[in-house]
Structure 1
């Protein structure tokens, strides 16, 4: 019984090993030493006639080996003028090749117009997000009355490392009288930025963040914006001209 069991075990092991040996190697195959190509050349007996001949390109040296009609082999470097000329095919060359192969394409129907490319999923998502963009408005109640004493000066500076030109990152530091609410403080910073951006020729801006602090009995607001020549992506985007009009209508100084 033990001999029979050992024999069966041995047979099973051999079958397993043979199956493993038949498993296909999943590793990529090595590149071939040469690649076969077709080369269009001038016929030595008729310079105006083009003939199609065979060639091989070495994947290691970049050398082109062309089989000539007489059976000889010509060699040239792929990046040489002769090598580039061997693969330069003009429309006249194709017409000559067509005549050389006696192809009659007159019966084929004309190709119809190309179908318009449909937008990709990413393009659709960006368009849907852009449709949600709203203008940046001053969040002030209808009964708001501006007090000139509340606004005590603002300064705008470009942040270090930001790009030159109108596509840049800037910070607005606005000083206000103590006790002014957050919406009024942000409106003042926004109006100061709108005036500065308009002078710089930047039609759009997008709010990044705002910090508030108290210094020397005043409220200090630090708001960071990006300036753009083109309308940026974002849920709220400031348009310089419209914001300046709103600031003037609500009595918020722009400096």
Structure 2
């Protein structure tokens, strides 16, 4: 299902319709950068103008891949907005990675091991002290800073962009439990992993296997954490399940909200 009006807003260059990131990446840099900058939310663009910020577009000719990085200041080590997209030969858009962070918020080095090396989303070792500080501050696993609450402004732009290329599906792989729940909120459904999400909800019910493991043995397994997305996500990040979090695949049909909710009894919380 295409968004209303998307058919009349086909992406074109010189009268030729564009059907993929590969097609866009073949264009001259000014033209393709203008196209990709359309993915930046208006509020973010205004903030970048006020800051004197910068936007970098990496879109190599010959590849089906793009990376956008926006920084408050060109010298800032962390981007405010970081986006990676790729597409498939089957006409699907892959949302590989999206981070929208508040550059003024405190930074928590959960992405670094105690020696200061990148830990690749904690797969190469966790920084437990920083993780606990981040959790106490209200952050979710793998978050280095609090966000700008802007994903809801970005997603419609991505849907329109995808529809204008003639595609009707956006695919993604949530890296954490809270990511999966957040994507549900924005209308995604599961290709793989819905049963796992339902089993997690069952396991955190009173008397369930995950509920019983919230025994206070670590700061990330405190009783009561089953009630919130944040609490569950930190417990899962801490290894409370029998298997590591992995392999969940989700999709969104353009213009369609799937209405999935695998944690219906959760306490209200900003995601």
TM over 0.5: no
Using the size of structure 1 for normalisation, the TM-score is: 0.19
Higher strand share goes to which structure? 1
Using the size of structure 2 for normalisation, the TM-score is: 0.18
- Over alpha carbons, which structure has the higher Rg? 1
Which structure has the higher relative contact order (CA within 8 Å, separation 6+)?
2
